[in-house]
């Protein structure tokens, strides 16, 4: 299949199956982009998410642009992004045109109560996968727990955590490099 | 003319809302207040619809407002206006990262960023759990611990946790689990 078409359809599928925003997209991305198509690695996904936290726009859109560009250049990035928003565009237009009280139907509420529980479990599984790849030693364990606890209990912007963690990574690594030089 | 103004407003929201999804909400509120294109109640409805449909809330809101003010073309154009800034910014960052590939300094920064990314996602997961598995509103109203716990949701979560780790099931596409959960939700009136 044409790669552009494949990018568009894959991201349309991901966009169409993502309930509950950018983070809920993660299990889909792991399945479709990392495991089935090898367009990006688990590590790259984490990088994209971290950068997506500090750049304008929706994380789903940012990640699609990143992956698309990696696979097929600038045009690939644009095609993947259009793919990820296409389903919402169609669904919302239909709802806006015909189903004014869509969210009020009991059936819809029940179905989505079930879907929300599933999204929880899927994100939890995704976090476990990422944990295995990113928490590789003591410093990374500390960074991960600090960010988790900090963002649950403090009302601070995620940008702050990302910037601090980036600086911490650079400092820790250069200190380690210096120490290993001294011991030689 | 109004279409152009709408595109401009959503372009700005796309440019300045950093951190995704719900970060767009204050910007959307501001647009509604200043222009009168939609009320806060419309926005609340839209949040509910967004929770019950796939896709990012920002995109959904842009489509909804665009459609209501200028039809299908309006929905498409406002959505494109919203996502244009992020596409441009990410393409530039990609280029930058490619240039510095293998640079020790950049690698070191990512060594710190990855666990932070995991931490942020874990925190978001915690937030979703609070909404999906516990009924905080009922608990706040009654103060009764029994109102906080939603047994049906917790049982479903437990079953899913086991099923998604079972050897011959864990490689199924996530949509299989999502669709089954929707059916279970309808059968057992999970929202009630």
Q: Which residue has the higher pLDDT, B45 or B122?
A: B122
Inter-chain CB proximity B132 and A120 less than 8 Å = yes
Q: Which of residues 98-117 of B touch A (CB under 8 A)?
A: 104-105, 107-117
Q: Are A55 and B25 in contact (CB under 8 A)?
A: no
What is d(CA A62, CA B91) in angstroms, rounded to the nearest whole number? 9
* Alpha helix segments (H runs only) across chain A: 3-17, 26-29, 42-54, 59-98, 106-134, 138-153, 158-183
Residue A1: how many other CB atoms lie within 10 Å:
7
Is the CB of residue B179 less than 8 Å from the CB of residue A118?
A: no
Show which of residues 30-59 on chain B sit within 8 Å of chain A, judged by CB atoms.
45, 48-49, 51-59
**Confidence band of A100 (pLDDT split at 50, 70, 90):** low
Which residue's structure tokens are 């299908």? Answer: B72
Closest CA to B121 of A13, A63, A90: A63
Q: Is B119 on the interface with A (CB under 8 A)?
A: yes
Structure tokens at B48: 């509910």
Residue pair B112/A143 in contact (Cβ under 8 Å)? The answer is yes
Q: Can you say how many angstroms the Cα of residue A61 is from the centroid of all Cα atoms in its chain?
A: 10
pLDDT value, residue B177: 87
Nearest Cβ partner of B117 from A15, A20, A50?
A: A50
Q: Which one is predicted more confidently, B78 or B59?
A: B78
Say yes or no: ipTM exceeds 0.90: no
pLDDT at residue A22 tops 70? no
Nearest to B90 among A20, A62, A107 (CB): A62
Interchain contact, A92 vs B55, CB within 8 Å: yes
Q: For A9-61, give the secondary structure using H, E and C.
A: HHHHHHHHHCECCHHHHHHHHHHHHHHHCCCCCHHHHHHHHHHHHHCECCHHH
Q: Which residues of A touch B44 (CB under 8 A)?
A: none
Whole-number pLDDT of residue A184: 60
Task: Express each pLDDT in B2-57 by its tens digit.
Answer: 888 889 988 988 887 765 555 677 777 788 888 888 887 777 777 767 766 777 77
> Are B59 and A61 a contacting pair at CB < 8 A?
yes
Min CA distance, A122 vs chain B (Å)? 8
Distance from CA of B145 to the nearest CA of A (A): 20
The answer on pLDDT for B128 being more than 80 is no
CA A102 to chain centre: 28
* Model pLDDT for residues A135-183, shown as the tens digit of each residue: 989 999 999 999 999 988 887 777 788 889 989 999 998 898 888 887 7
Mean pLDDT of B184-188: 91
CB contact under 8 A, A113 and B52: no
**Residue B18: strand pairing partners:** A56
Interface contacts A/B by beta carbons within 8 Å: 368
Do the chains contact at B131 and A116, CB–CB below 8 Å? yes
Instruction: Give the pLDDT confidence of B131-184 residue by residue, as tens digits.
Output: 778 877 777 777 777 777 788 889 999 999 999 898 888 778 888 888 899 899
Contact A124 B161 (CB under 8 A): yes
Residue of B nearest to A166 (CA): B109
Q: What residues of chain A lie within 8 A of the CB of B110, using their CB?
A: 43, 47, 50, 166, 169
The 10s digit of each residue's pLDDT in A54-67 is: 777 777 888 899 99
């Amino acid at each position: 299949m044409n790669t552009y078409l494949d990018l568009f359809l894959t991201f349309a599928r991901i966009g169409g199956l993502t309930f509950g925003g950018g983070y809920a997209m993660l299990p889909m991305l792991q399945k479709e982009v990392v495991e089935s198509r090898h367009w990006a690695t688990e590590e790259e996904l984490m990088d994209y998410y971290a950068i997506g936290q500090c750049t304008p726009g929706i994380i789903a859109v940012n990640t699609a642009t990143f992956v698309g560009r990696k696979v097929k250049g600038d045009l690939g990035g644009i095609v993947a992004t259009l793919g990820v928003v296409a389903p919402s565009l169609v669904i919302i237009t239909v709802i806006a045109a015909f189903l004014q009280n869509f969210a009020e139907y009991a059936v819809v509420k029940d179905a989505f109560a079930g879907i929300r529980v599933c999204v929880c479990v899927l994100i939890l599984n995704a976090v476990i996968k990422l944990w295995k790849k990113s928490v590789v030693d003591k410093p990374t364990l500390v960074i991960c727990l600090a960010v988790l606890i900090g963002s649950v209990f403090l009302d601070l912007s995620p940008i702050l955590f990302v910037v601090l963690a980036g600086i911490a990574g650079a400092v820790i690594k250069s200190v380690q490099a210096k120490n290993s030089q001294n011991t030689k | 003319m109004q279409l152009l103004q709408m595109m401009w407003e959503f372009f700005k929201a796309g440019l300045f809302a950093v951190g995704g999804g719900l970060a767009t909400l204050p910007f959307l509120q501001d647009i509604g207040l200043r222009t009168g294109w939609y009320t806060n109640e419309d926005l609340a409805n839209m949040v509910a619809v967004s929770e019950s449909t796939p896709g990012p809330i920002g995109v959904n809101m842009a489509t909804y407002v665009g459609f209501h003010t200028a039809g299908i073309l309006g929905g498409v154009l406002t959505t494109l206006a919203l996502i244009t800034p992020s596409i441009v910014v990410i393409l530039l960052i990609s280029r930058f990262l490619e240039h510095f590939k293998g640079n020790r300094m950049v690698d070191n920064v990512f060594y710190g960023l990855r666990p932070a990314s995991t931490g942020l996602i874990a925190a978001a997961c915690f937030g979703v759990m609070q909404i999906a598995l516990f009924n905080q509103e009922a608990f706040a109203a009654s103060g009764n611990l029994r109102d906080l716990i939603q047994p049906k949701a917790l049982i479903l979560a437990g079953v899913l946790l086991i099923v998604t780790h079972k050897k011959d099931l864990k490689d199924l596409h996530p949509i299989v689990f999502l669709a089954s959960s929707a059916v279970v939700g309808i059968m057992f009136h999970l929202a009630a």
